[in-house]
């Protein structure tokens, strides 16, 4: 009896040690609040559940948090020197140039992070980590953290599945209905869109292996001298958490170690500051929220675009709350209120909000659907176009691409979004889908991270496709072998027929003269 009790206590203690005492490192180097928010939510929840968490980030915590330490990247914006990109100008880029530009622009961030004195101290220390959590965003050299600390690697993808994620996990993703991130397509593609998407798929694979891999392998070994070759660490991923939800994105194939957790960053609504609350409460005709997110700033809009937006808003009977980063704006319509900072999730939860005019970023889209608010999208770059194309396909949004934005188009979209009840009805139905999960997305993320700890990396979840090269994966070797086997007898038959049908030479016999 005592032995049984002791054995149970032993297994309980082992379980607690495995799940509640892990050392976890998170790397979220982008100097962007939206990207930091993704890592912050998960890592602080892990710290709250007893894990010892360290995060590499450009943002310093204002207050000390139990079990939570920040390794601050010094001067993160210095990496932008000479690589400044006009994000609004990126609306003119095609899918192929976007892939090249993103890979080129983000690389200085990677070097700046690895070269940071605080990060170097961590790398050269004798610290140990059980898990390293990386954000998947053109930062492939960071897989050196996993190999250097001999830790299980967990990837957090801020965008839906595409060739970016599928190649790494050995997951199938047919380009016939799985759009590339910068393709501006949804899963419903016509012939020409499928052809273009397929070309983008081939281009990304070629670019990745020909350019990205050699470059990131060199950077990785510059700062992590004792790690294996890039391919050995890149494919050694235990778990991928994907920031999407079937309420806002079509279902696609996913391996069991690719977990959908879209909406996990959304917190219960908090009290809104009094000035904003009064504005929302007193809006008898309702309110439209307008925000271009944290990376795109409204104050950087060209004068003609800003004037088109203001003219469209001035025609509305509804109030407009505009996230505007400057102090003031000239010629402001009476129904428009500017605010340098807007608690977006809390405002969207207010019952008087009727419509959300957004850049179409994934976090904003998820928050809108979570609260059942239809959207008018002004996509500019990246996955914003795809997000809004899906919103149109599903019926909860209207897309007004930035390059085509003018007063006429925006006015028509606003009128349709406000007067056609279908958009609001669909958004509310999608909201019910998003809320109707057996497990909350954040709890799901934590469970699977701790599952990887308990199962020592979860090797049983990994696809056998990772052991195949590209020829084997696409069965090109088998197809070639079959072609040879079939062609041999055909060639023999053709050769034999030619021999049989070859005309015989006539033999002439000369007669002797008597």
Closest of 155, 138, 134 to residue 99, by C-alpha: 138
Domain boundary among 435, 457, 483: 435
Q: Provide the edge-to-edge strand list for the sheet that holds 287-291.
A: 336-339, 319-323, 287-291, 353-358, 375-377, 397-399
Please give the backbone phi and psi of residue 55, each rounded to the nearest 5 degrees, phi first.
Answer: -125, 135
- Sequence-ordered list of residues with C-beta below 8 angstroms from that of 18, at least 6 positions apart, any chain: 450, 453, 454
What's the pLDDT band for 510 if we cut at 50, 70, 90?
low
Q: Is the pLDDT of residue 204 over 50?
A: yes
Q: Is the pLDDT of residue 262 over 90?
A: yes
Please check whether residue 306 lies inside any domain of the structure: yes
Rounded to a whole number of angstroms, the distance between the first and last alpha carbons of the chain is: 130
Structure tokens at 400: 């007004």
> For the purposes of burial, counting CB atoms within 10 Å of the CB of 418, is it exposed (0-12), middle (13-18) or buried (19 or more)?
buried
Given this model, what pLDDT does residue 6 score? 42
Shared-domain flag, residues 149 and 181: yes
Contact 39, 154 (CB under 8 A): no
Of 1-15, 177-191, 293-307, the least confident = 1-15
Please check whether residue 18 lies inside any domain of the structure: no
Q: Is the pLDDT of residue 18 over 70?
A: no
Closest of 378, 427, 421 to residue 398, by C-alpha: 378
Given this model, what pLDDT does residue 440 score? 95
Shared-domain flag, residues 338 and 357: yes
Shared-domain flag, residues 366 and 447: no
Shared-domain flag, residues 80 and 183: yes
Q: How many structural domains is the chain composed of?
A: 2
The H helix count followed by the E strand count for the chain is 19, 13
Domain boundary among 416, 435, 454: 435
Structure tokens at 371: 């609260």
Domain hosting residue 249, numbered range: 38-60+67-264+440-465
H or E segment at 201?
helix 191-207
What's the pLDDT band for 404 if we cut at 50, 70, 90?
very high
Given this model, what pLDDT does residue 76 score? 74
Q: What is the DSSP letter of 466?
A: G
Q: Is the pLDDT of residue 19 over 80?
A: no
Average of per-residue pLDDT across 269-282: 93
Output the CA torsion sign for 92, 94, 99, 100.
negative
Q: Is the pLDDT of residue 14 over 90?
A: no
Please check whether residue 46 lies inside any domain of the structure: yes
Q: Is the pLDDT of residue 277 over 90?
A: yes
Q: Is the pLDDT of residue 210 over 80?
A: yes
CA distance 162 to 173: 7
Shared-domain flag, residues 300 and 237: no
Shared-domain flag, residues 236 and 365: no
Q: What is the DSSP letter of 422?
A: H
Shared-domain flag, residues 123 and 240: yes
Of 87-91, 150-154, 464-468, 501-505, the least confident = 501-505
Structure tokens at 325: 């980063």
What's the pLDDT band for 10 if we cut at 50, 70, 90?
very low
Q: Which of residues 96 and 319 earns the better pLDDT score?
A: 319
Shared-domain flag, residues 97 and 189: yes
Shared-domain flag, residues 288 and 240: no
Q: Let me know the angle formed at the C-alpha of 95 by 378 and 370, rounded to the nearest 5 degrees.
A: 40
Please check whether residue 427 lies inside any domain of the structure: yes
Q: What residue ranges in 330-424 does DSSP mark as E strands? A: 336-339, 353-358, 375-377, 397-399
Given this model, what pLDDT does residue 236 score? 95
CA 173, distance to chain mean position in Å, is: 15
Q: What is the DSSP letter of 461?
A: G
Given this model, what pLDDT does residue 496 score? 85
Shared-domain flag, residues 431 and 452: no
CA distance 302 to 426: 33
Bridge partner residues of 134 (DSSP): 27, 155
Average of per-residue pLDDT across 340-354: 95
Q: Let me know the angle formed at the C-alpha of 309 by 355 and 303, rounded to the nearest 5 degrees.
A: 150
Shared-domain flag, residues 157 and 110: yes
Output the CA torsion sign for 370, 285, 396, 37.
negative
What's the pLDDT band for 3 if we cut at 50, 70, 90?
very low
SS3 72: strand
Q: What is the CATH number of the domain that holds 406?
A: 3.40.50.2000
Please check whether residue 244 lies inside any domain of the structure: yes
Please check whether residue 480 lies inside any domain of the structure: no
Closest of 261, 270, 243 to residue 363, by C-alpha: 243
Please check whether residue 426 lies inside any domain of the structure: yes
Q: Mean pLDDT in the chain? A: 88
Average of per-residue pLDDT across 390-398: 95
Please check whether residue 190 lies inside any domain of the structure: yes
Q: What residue ranges in 190-277 does DSSP mark as E strands? A: 239-242, 258-260
- Sequence-ordered list of residues with C-beta below 8 angstroms from that of 479, at least 6 positions apart, any chain: none
Q: Which of residues 54 and 502 earns the better pLDDT score?
A: 54
Of 49-58, 204-213, 437-446, the least confident = 204-213
Over residues 37-68, the pLDDT tens digits come to: 899 999 999 999 999 999 999 988 888 999 99
Contact 363, 37 (CB under 8 A): yes
Shared-domain flag, residues 175 and 220: yes
C-beta contacts of 403-411 below 8 A and 24+ residues apart: 403/91, 403/92, 405/305, 405/308, 405/309, 405/378, 406/308, 407/307, 407/308, 407/311, 407/312, 410/308, 410/309, 410/312, 410/376, 411/311, 411/312, 411/315
């Amino acid at each position: 009896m005592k032995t049984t009790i002791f054995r149970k206590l032993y297994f309980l203690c082992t379980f607690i040690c495995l799940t509640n005492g892990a050392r976890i490192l998170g790397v979220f180097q982008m100097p962007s609040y939206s990207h930091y928010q993704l890592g912050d939510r998960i890592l602080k929840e892990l710290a709250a559940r007893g894990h010892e968490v360290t995060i590499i980030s450009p943002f310093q915590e204002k207050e000390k948090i139990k079990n939570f330490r920040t390794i601050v990247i010094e001067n993160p914006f210095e990496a932008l020197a000479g690589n400044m990109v006009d994000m609004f100008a990126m609306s003119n880029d095609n899918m192929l140039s976007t892939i090249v530009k993103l890979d080129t622009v983000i690389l200085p961030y990677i070097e700046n992070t690895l070269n940071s004195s605080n990060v170097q101290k961590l790398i050269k220390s004798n610290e140990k980590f059980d898990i390293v959590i990386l954000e998947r965003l053109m930062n492939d050299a960071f897989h050196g953290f996993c190999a250097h600390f001999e830790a299980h690697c967990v990837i957090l993808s801020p965008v839906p599945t595409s060739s970016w994620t599928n190649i790494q996990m050995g997951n199938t993703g047919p380009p016939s209905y799985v759009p590339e991130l910068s393709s501006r397509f949804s899963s419903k593609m016509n012939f020409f869109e499928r052809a273009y998407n397929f070309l983008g798929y081939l281009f990304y694979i070629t670019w990745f292996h020909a350019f990205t891999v050699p470059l990131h392998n060199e950077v990785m070994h510059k700062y992590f001298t004792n790690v294996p070759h890039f391919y050995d660490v890149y494919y050694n991923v235990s778990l991928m958490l994907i920031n999407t939800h079937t309420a806002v994105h079509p279902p696609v194939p996913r391996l069991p170690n690719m977990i959908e957790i879209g909406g996990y960053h959304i917190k219960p609504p908090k009290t809104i500051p009094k000035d904003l609350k009064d504005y929302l409460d007193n809006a008898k005709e309702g309110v439209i929220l307008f925000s271009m997110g944290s990376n795109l700033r409204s104050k950087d809009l060209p004068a003609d675009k800003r004037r088109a937006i203001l003219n469209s808003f001035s025609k509305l009977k509804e109030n407009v709350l505009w996230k505007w980063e400057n102090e003031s704006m000239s010629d402001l319509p009476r129904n428009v209120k500017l605010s340098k900072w807007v608690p977006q999730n809390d405002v969207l939860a207010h019952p008087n909000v009727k419509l959300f005019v957004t850049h179409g970023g994934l976090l904003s889209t998820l928050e809108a659907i979570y609260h059942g608010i239809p959207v008018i999208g002004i996509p500019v770059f990246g996955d914003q176009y795809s997000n809004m194309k899906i919103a149109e396909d599903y019926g909860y949004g209207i897309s007004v691409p930035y390059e085509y934005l003018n007063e006429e188009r925006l006015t028509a979209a606003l009128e349709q979004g406000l007067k056609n009840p279908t958009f609001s009805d669909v958004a509310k139905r999608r909201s019910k889908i998003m809320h109707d999960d057996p497990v909350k997305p954040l709890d799901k993320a934590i469970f699977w991270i701790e599952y990887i700890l308990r199962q020592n990396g979860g090797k049983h979840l990994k696809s056998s496709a990772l052991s195949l090269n590209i020829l084997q994966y696409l069965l090109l070797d088998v197809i070639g072998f079959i072609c040879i086997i079939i062609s041999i007898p055909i060639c023999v038959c053709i050769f034999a027929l030619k021999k049989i049908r070859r005309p015989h030479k006539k033999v002439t016999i000369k007669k002797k003269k008597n």
